[in-house]
Amino acid sequence: MAKITIDGSEHDFPAGMNLFDAVAQARGEALPHFCYHEGLSIAGVCRMCQVEVEGVPKLLIACNSKVQEGMVVHTKTERVQTTVKQILNFHLLHHPVDCPVCDQAGECSLQDFYMKHGLYDAAIDIDEKLAKGKVKPIGAHVMLDAERCVLCTRCTRFTSEVTKTHELGIFNRGNHSEIDVAPGKTLDNAYSLNTVDLCPVGALTSRDFRFKRRVWWLESTDSVCNGCATGCNMQIHHSDGKAYRFKPRVNRDVNDWWMCDHGRLLYHDIQVEERLEGPLVRESESGLALPGNWNTAYAVIESKLSELGEARKIYLVGSPHCTLEELYAFSTLLPAAGAEFLGYRLAGSERGIADDLLLDGDLTPNAKGAARLGLREFDATALAAAAGRNAILIVLNNDLAALSDDCAKALTGFGLVVHIRDRADRTARLAHVTLAGRNFAEKAGTFVNRKGRAQAIERALEGPKNARDELRIIRELGSLLGHSPVWKDAADVRREMATRHDGLAALAGAIPTAGVDLDARQADEVGHG
Amino acid sequence: MSEAEGAMKAAAAFAFSAEREARFQKLVERYPTNFSALMPTLWLCQEEWGWLKPGVPEWVAERLDVPVSRVYELITFYTMYYTENPGRFNLQVCRNVSCHLMGAQRIVKHLSGRLGLAPGQTDDEGLFRLEEAECLGACGMAPMMQVGNRYYENLTPEKCDALIETWMAEATSDSLRESRAEEASDV
Amino acid sequence: MSDMPRILSGNFDVPNCHRIDVYESRGGYAALRKTLPETLGTKVQEEVKAAGLRGRGGAGFPTGVKWGFVPKDTGKPVYFLVNADESEPGTFKDRFILDYDPHLMIEGTILSCFAVNCHDAFIYIRGEYGWLVDRVQEAVDEAYAKGYLGKNILGSGFDLEMIVHKGAGAYICGEETGLINSLEGKKGQPRIKPPFPALVGFLNCPTIVNNVETVASVPWIMSHGAEAYRAIGTERSPGTKLFSLSGPVKRPGNYEIPLGLPLRELIFGEDFGQGMLDGIELKACIPGGSSVPVLTAAESMEVNLDYEDLAAKGTMLGSGGCIVIGSDAHMPEVLKVLLQFYHHESCGQCTPCREGTGWLDMLIGRMLKGKGHQRDLELLERVCAGMAGTTICVLADAAVMPARSFISKFKHEFEALLPKGIEPEDYVPTAHSAEQSS
């Protein structure tokens, strides 16, 4: 460790550590900067993070300096402050004052630093601002405004170093330098929207988010992406009960600073038109699934149960989209009443293409969690074998009919199909009763990602008033079958689950925001035992 | 066909002469990386075709297996790579300090009047282009200009006129020869 | 002057000395033939260090010391890059070496590569010197044919490959890390330092970049010894330097001078510039290429051409491009020519230079058009203050030095361009501006 002094106070940091990071830790806030980013190479081009280091005649950029024993650093001297203001001035020189129409307003580094450090006399005195490409869609998801660009090179470094797709470049020279895609190219890699996160100003903005909401109205709730088994950490940005975008949350053990475009845009999926406001009940004459109420829906189930009596056979199908808590509750409570759990997933379903960045070939968020609970997959044959007049099928959060025609066919053979889902999907058209559930933005719960990391999601949105949390529905079905659980909510479920499964013991309490590596804990315990 | 496909198709249409292809192979062998061979390859292309026509940058990117964005970055960064016809006689008049002190602007104005071109313009036939250049390393022989691979130094308006006449005569005799050859082949 | 050995320019007046047979007939390659088989590379390094040779491109850093920074056992190849990207306004000395004595440069490069155990050399020549690229390539081919390049040179066991590389028009490629990036196939944008090229350079390997004139000095040092080199010039600026003389003098051209020669001798001496053209008086002089502060006529008459004296008088020796400015010149116009040059050549990477060079050019431009604002000189200085010492490379400083020196030493000419009286409305500073430093 090296002892260094920053603005008069002593600190211990590892020798060789990046001075920018050290100062950020010491002060609790980063030095002004555009080009520095932990996930990218050091560019040193914005010249904003300059500090005075005793013994060095020139100011040094902190991002390209290393902690050395005895270093004395000053970040707030007159000389540093004047320099920062002058450089900010240079950044503003040709910058169009687009703030009233720029999506970045409210989360713009240029705005923020100007407010903190800026010059207030009218020193932006030039005859004409340079015109560059404006309102140029450079890809399916990204809009470019080259006039706003401060040429920090974060986006070009991202496409060179992270995705290695090289779509972006900086062309020309001097103050005619301009970022753009190469002629005839588009920014169309699977991670293009990360450049929007990286861009400190409004040069690269999301086309999907364009003009939809001013960012100061948005609230943020931590969550985890449901698009695949990677489980990228993210935030749900929402306002007035509506989600407007997903943004990644840093987690060095899962997704670093990034998210894929597909995962990001899945926020649309929690607001689909087919969203159920309440249960559906199928009318026997027309065969149509029509909006009903909970009493009617449960009455249909009760009636079937009493009709079948002892002859009844109840089968359960779960889903790798369910939370751990839901899967545990579903696979323990109802089987206690005699139901048979067929499986948590149709084998081979929901596969995609993986890559060596973030995309996983399993397009579901909790297959690993289901496996840890000891649950198995099932196939269409098993489903067909279970079908019969006396058979009741309860499907939790799984659009079986859309996954396979064989499954759809098998469904029609059941005496009663109860579907629990947040939307009117294909299975809902075939089910006798569809109980309106919630999507992942409307509940608390846990997912286990492909690497065995348990991660928590939190409730961001209220959702329709007449939809019900899946755990509540499971409890109510349990009581229809004569079994009531001890647990009341997700935390309770998790506690019980943790005591019943060794491998999930770590989940007894609250789960930290960075998640829990279930295998690491296991190794610890094995060591102690 | 998309723009990208069009460029790729255009790229497929290019090939060096046998002699230049041999030089290209040799330089790819000698330079330590494909990237480092980019500049000399672009020079070979300009030698071959006069300037970097649409599709040539994509062709170079493909041949050297480098991203096309990097090729365009080079082309737009350096002043000597042209993406449009730089004229058969590309008059680059130095405008920097020593030449300026010795009357460079007078030469620029004279040439501009004589050729009917403002600096930065090429004439319609693609014969002459007038440009102001930065210091060309002939400060003691000022004012001067570069045309092709030659420097013309200690210029006066009269010398400029004489040079232009020579070049125009050269262009005329070339085109006469070409049209005679065409007629001969028609017969 | 007749007793000063012509270390660099000895072959300039010899017809066809670019050919190896003529070069050798004049003693060329004798230094190489003597040194390689008998001496260790480290001895060459020591000799050059003892001679006190300093980088002749502009920085003046001691060459032997620079070579010493190359680490011995990285396991990586060492690269040697000869900087023939000569683009500093007022400078055309390397051109003469490339044109009239390319083998001097080649021999010097081979010796220098031997000194740092490098087996791969590049000669990076500015693209505009196209015909010289061909000439140097021919000379390199001749050297290969003679066995001075390639494998096992002169039976010493030392291998060296040499590639001639043509630039494509960018002044910034003369900056050593800009040159390295350009050679790698990137835009010629300088790198942030640390790391320094001697450790991490071309392809992340240890690299030395030296100017043409610097390597061209090495053969003489090796054949005559460090002592003899030190006997010329001054104590801290030993040896000779080529100075390019331009502007309204009777005999502009390249002159090899012993360091320490008075500037007035270079301009007015019978063996040199022979004074001003008829009807023109000396008004100012930029002694070392456009990027150094200008000297008034009075100052020019009092300074000697070595690193120390020029620095003591507030300017620099730089590239040795001596630009003489006559009484017929309008200083603001001359400054405009320079500032538009830096604006054109800024690589655009870092903000203060990219925006600052454009701003300086715009300001001087509007002043000359009679559209300047009353406080433009103040604004110019503020822009300069934001650029100096805040950038990745010294191009920003290179623009600031002429700007500041021209304005301070010829202030009346600049003030004459500004409107008198009432300040324009759009330039009223806000009252709290001075106090508003957070």
Structure confidence at residue A224 (pLDDT) = 98
B1 token code pair: 């066909």
- Chain C residues with CB-CB distance to B81 below 8 A: 168-169
Q: Are B130 and B178 in contact (CB under 8 A)?
A: no
A55 token code pair: 């013994």
In a domain, B82, yes or no: no
Spatial separation of the C-alpha atoms in residues A248 and A132, rounded to whole Å: 30
**Which amino acid does the sequence have at A283?**
E
pTM flag (> 0.90): yes
C95 token code pair: 């051109």
In B, minimum Cα distance to A180 occurs at B69
Per DSSP, the three-state class of C307 is helix
- Chain B residues with CB-CB distance to C161 below 8 A: 30
A218-269: pLDDT as tens digits: 999 999 999 999 999 999 999 999 999 999 999 999 999 999 999 999 999 9
Spatial separation of the C-alpha atoms in residues A270 and A287, rounded to whole Å: 27
Residues B7 and B72 in one domain: yes
- Chain A residues with CB-CB distance to C359 below 8 A: 90, 93, 126
Q: Are B154 and B114 in contact (CB under 8 A)?
A: no
Residues B105 and B179 in one domain: yes
DSSP strands (E only) in A397-463: 414-421, 433-436, 445-448, 453-457
The last residue of one of the domains, among B77, B108, B142, is: B77
- Average pLDDT (A464-472) is 96
Q: With an 8 Å Cβ cutoff, are A43 and C429 in contact?
A: no
CATH number at residue B105: 3.40.30.10
Spatial separation of the C-alpha atoms in residues B36 and B90, rounded to whole Å: 28
The last residue of one of the domains, among B52, B77, B102, is: B77
Q: Domain extents for chain C?
A: 20-230, 240-326, 331-415
Q: How many domains does chain B have?
A: 2
The residues that bridge with A435 in the sheet, in sequence order, are A420
Residues B116 and B144 in one domain: yes
* Chain C stretch 126-145, residues whose beta carbon is closer than 8 A to a beta carbon of chain B: 126-131, 134
The residues that bridge with A392 in the sheet, in sequence order, are A314, A416
Contacts of C165 (CB under 8 A, 6+ apart): B39, B40, C122, C123, C124, C125, C183
B53-63: pLDDT as tens digits: 999 999 999 99
Write phi, then psi, for B174 (nearest 5 degrees).
-60, -45
Closest by Cα among A330, A356, A275 to A481:
A330
Structure confidence at residue B183 (pLDDT) = 86
Residues B102 and B141 in one domain: yes
Contacts of C91 (CB under 8 A, 6+ apart): B135, B137, B139, C244, C289, C319, C320, C321
In a domain, B8, yes or no: yes
In a domain, B166, yes or no: yes
A99-150: pLDDT as tens digits: 999 999 999 999 999 888 865 664 678 888 899 999 999 999 999 999 999 9
B37-86: pLDDT as tens digits: 999 999 999 999 999 999 999 999 999 999 999 999 999 999 999 999 99
The last residue of one of the domains, among B47, B77, B107, is: B77
The residues that bridge with A388 in the sheet, in sequence order, are A414
For residue C118, give how far its alpha carbon lies from the nearest alpha carbon of chain B (Å).
15
Q: Is C210 on the interface with B (CB under 8 A)?
A: no
Q: Is B35 on the interface with C (CB under 8 A)?
A: yes
A478-501: pLDDT as tens digits: 999 999 999 999 999 999 999 999
Which of B32, B137, B139 shows the shortest C-beta gap to C129?
B137
- Chain B residues with CB-CB distance to C247 below 8 A: 98, 101-102
- Chain B residues with CB-CB distance to A157 below 8 A: none
A382 token code pair: 């098993």
In a domain, B84, yes or no: no
CATH (one of 3.65.10.10, 3.10.20.600, 1.20.950.20, 3.40.50.12280) for C240-326: 3.10.20.600
Average pLDDT, chain C: 94
Q: With an 8 Å Cβ cutoff, are C161 and B30 in contact?
A: yes
Q: Are C218 and C227 in contact (CB under 8 A)?
A: no
Spatial separation of the C-alpha atoms in residues C92 and B135, rounded to whole Å: 9
- Chain C residues with CB-CB distance to A172 below 8 A: 348
Q: For every one of its 438 residues, what pLDDT tens digit does chain C have, with 9 covering 90 and above?
A: 457 889 999 999 999 999 999 999 999 999 999 999 888 889 999 999 999 999 999 989 999 999 999 998 889 999 999 999 999 999 999 999 999 999 999 999 999 999 999 999 999 999 999 999 999 999 999 999 999 999 999 999 999 999 999 999 999 999 999 999 999 999 999 999 999 999 999 999 999 999 999 999 999 999 999 999 999 999 999 999 999 999 999 999 999 999 999 999 999 999 999 999 999 999 999 999 999 999 999 999 999 999 999 999 999 999 999 999 999 999 999 999 999 999 999 999 999 999 999 999 999 999 999 999 888 999 999 999 999 999 999 999 999 999 999 999 999 999 999 987 554 444 444 433 333 333
Spatial separation of the C-alpha atoms in residues A170 and A179, rounded to whole Å: 4
Contacts of A275 (CB under 8 A, 6+ apart): A422, A423, A464
Q: With an 8 Å Cβ cutoff, are B69 and A173 in contact?
A: no
Q: Are C48 and C250 in contact (CB under 8 A)?
A: no
Write phi, then psi, for C326 (nearest 5 degrees).
-100, 175
Which of B6, B69, B76 shows the shortest C-beta gap to A185?
B69
Rg (chain A; Cα; Å): 28
- Chain B residues with CB-CB distance to C333 below 8 A: 100
User: ipTM score of the complex?
Assistant: 0.93
Whether the predicted pLDDT of B5 surpasses 70: no
CATH (one of 3.20.20.20, 3.40.190.10, 3.40.50.11540, 3.40.50.970) for C20-230: 3.40.50.11540
One-character DSSP codes across chain B: --HHHHHHHHHHT----HHHHHHHHHHHHHSSSTGGGHHHHHHHHHHHHSS--TTHHHHHHHHHT--HHHHHHHHHHSTT--SS---SEEEEEE-SHHHHHTTHHHHHHHHHHHHT--TTEE-TTS-EEEEEES--S-GGG-S-EEETTEEE-S--HHHHHHHHHHHHHHHHHHHHHHHHHHHHHH-
* Chain A stretch 77-116, residues whose beta carbon is closer than 8 A to a beta carbon of chain C: 78, 81-83, 85-87, 89-91, 93-94, 116
**Which amino acid does the sequence have at C4?**
M
Q: Hey, how many other C-beta atoms are within 10 angstroms of the C-beta on B19?
A: 9
Closest by Cα among A57, A150, A49, A143 to A108:
A150
| DSSP label at residue C77 | P
Closest by Cα among A324, A337, A416 to A374:
A324
Q: Is C342 on the interface with B (CB under 8 A)?
A: no
- Chain B residues with CB-CB distance to A167 below 8 A: 69
- Average pLDDT (A465-487) is 94
Q: Determine which of B3, B71, B76, B83 to mutate to test the interface with A (most A C-beta atoms within 10 Å).
A: B76
pLDDT-based confidence at B8, cuts 50/70/90?
low
> Roughly how many angstroms between the first and final C-alpha of chain A, as a whole number?
35
**Which amino acid does the sequence have at C296?**
T
Q: Are A204 and A143 in contact (CB under 8 A)?
A: yes
Per DSSP, the three-state class of C401 is helix
Q: Determine which of A160, A165, A166, A179 to mutate to test the interface with B (most B C-beta atoms within 10 Å).
A: A166
* Chain C stretch 168-197, residues whose beta carbon is closer than 8 A to a beta carbon of chain A: 170, 187, 192, 194
Q: Which residues form the domain of B173?
A: 89-186
For residue A225, give how far its alpha carbon lies from the nearest alpha carbon of chain B (Å).
32
Spatial separation of the C-alpha atoms in residues A461 and A218, rounded to whole Å: 12
A403-421: pLDDT as tens digits: 999 999 999 999 999 999 9
Structure confidence at residue C435 (pLDDT) = 36
Q: Is C283 on the interface with B (CB under 8 A)?
A: no
Whether the predicted pLDDT of A461 surpasses 50: yes
Q: With an 8 Å Cβ cutoff, are C253 and B140 in contact?
A: yes
CATH class (in words) of the domain with range C331-415: mainly alpha
- Chain B residues with CB-CB distance to A185 below 8 A: 4, 68-69
Residues B166 and B129 in one domain: yes
Residues B10 and B31 in one domain: yes
Which of B35, B66, B78 shows the shortest C-beta gap to C170?
B78
Q: Which run of H or E residues covers position C365?
A: helix C351-368
Spatial separation of the C-alpha atoms in residues A233 and A226, rounded to whole Å: 10
Q: Are C41 and C116 in contact (CB under 8 A)?
A: yes
Domains of chain A, start order: 2-92 (3.10.20.740), 128-217 (3.30.70.20), 280-528 (3.40.50.740)
Same fold: C240-326 with C331-415:
no
Looking only at the bridges linking them, the beta strands covering A60-61 and A50-53 are: antiparallel
In a domain, B83, yes or no: no
Residues B111 and B150 in one domain: yes
In a domain, B174, yes or no: yes
